[in-house]
Amino acid sequence: MNALDLKYKRVLLKLSGEALAGKKDSGLDYDVVTEICKSIKKCVDLGVEMAIVVGGGNFWRGRSSGKMDRTRADHMGMLATVINALALCDALEQLGLTVRVMTALDMHAIAEPYIRNRAVQHLGKGRVVIFGCGTGNPFFSTDTASALRAAEIDADIILKATMVDGVYDSDPSKNKEARRFDVVTFTEVLNKELAVMDMTAASMCRDTKKPILVFSLEDPDNILRAVCGEDIGTIVMQ
């Protein structure tokens, strides 16, 4: 592959925290993290400008925190995303890439504050930018952070790497007859409540006209296939 094979020049990659845990129930599987980062490096080597939003569900999920105050629980979730962002940063740097972690909450000792123009400058210089802390606000998911950051940096597409190979009309783990879509519209996603992103994130992507490609991360090189426009997963568009 070469730069001429690229379909997308600037992408926003959404990684769940669970994806970084591999087959573990929680925490980080550093071998899995490294394999994901190797695929990211292949994209960067081809000239892709790569921004990443990472979740924190392998350490903490605010919405399942029992009787804890939701705002405080979500703040804890934001800290979990920073752990994952630093892990990705370390793995990418060991592969020879230049990386910047930018957080929506000030953490000057370990990351840059998120400033939109600075993030775009980093991308233009070939640096990988990892966004931590979600939107910096409670009650908003990292899916919504992905939609927001993709709009702000004017990404060509959101690549949503998941544990399933696309969007289905029902849960494929429960229904063997579930049908996978090749293409689906935002209106269908919202009306049928399809499992792509939460409704806030999906609505924002519809309003900002940012397509989403949902694909499986079981093979990390699907990230490379996605930026080259290969026929994988499900594309969500207007």
Whole-angstrom Cα distance, residue 197 to residue 214? 10
Is the pLDDT at 4 greater than 60? The verdict is no
Pairing mode, strands 212-216 and 234-237: antiparallel
Question: What percent of the chain stands above pLDDT 70?
Answer: 96
Q: How would residue 149 be classed by pLDDT, with cut points 50, 70 and 90?
A: very high
- Closest C-alpha to 220, from 161, 135, 142, 172: 161
Structure tokens of 33?
Answer: 């993290």
Structure tokens of 203?
Answer: 């609505």
Instruction: Give the number of domains in the chain.
Output: 1
193: buried, middle or exposed (CB in 10 Å: 19+, 13-18, 0-12)? exposed
Structure tokens of 11?
Answer: 């992408």
Q: How would residue 1 be classed by pLDDT, with cut points 50, 70 and 90?
A: low
- If one compares 143 and 4, the residue with the highest pLDDT of the two is 143
- In contact, 131 and 114? CB cutoff 8 Å: yes
- Closest C-alpha to 55, from 140, 141, 171, 160: 141
Q: Is the pTM for the entire model greater than 0.85?
A: yes
Whole-angstrom Cα distance, residue 135 to residue 184? 26
Q: How would residue 2 be classed by pLDDT, with cut points 50, 70 and 90?
A: low
Angle at 123 between CA 22 and CA 233, to 5 degrees: 45
Task: Please say whether the dihedral angle defined by the alpha carbons of residues 17, 19, 20 and 25, taken in this order, is positive or negative.
Answer: positive
Structure tokens of 157?
Answer: 């597409």
pLDDT of residue 238: 84
Report the CATH number that the domain containing residue 68 is assigned in CATH: 3.40.1160.10
Whole-angstrom Cα distance, residue 138 to residue 136? 7
Query: Average pLDDT, stretch 144-165?
Result: 95
pLDDT of residue 197: 83
> What residues are paired with 8 via a beta bridge?
none
Q: pLDDT for 25-37, tens place per residue?
A: 889 999 999 999 9
Domain limits at 99?
A: 3-237
Whole-angstrom Cα distance, residue 231 to residue 6? 13
Q: pLDDT for 45-86, tens place per residue?
A: 999 999 999 999 999 876 666 789 999 999 999 999 999 999
Q: pLDDT for 47-56, tens place per residue?
A: 999 999 999 9
Q: How far is the first Cα of the chain from the last one, in angstroms, to the nearest whole number? A: 29
- Closest C-alpha to 36, from 222, 187, 186, 191: 222
Query: Average pLDDT, stretch 104-112?
Result: 97
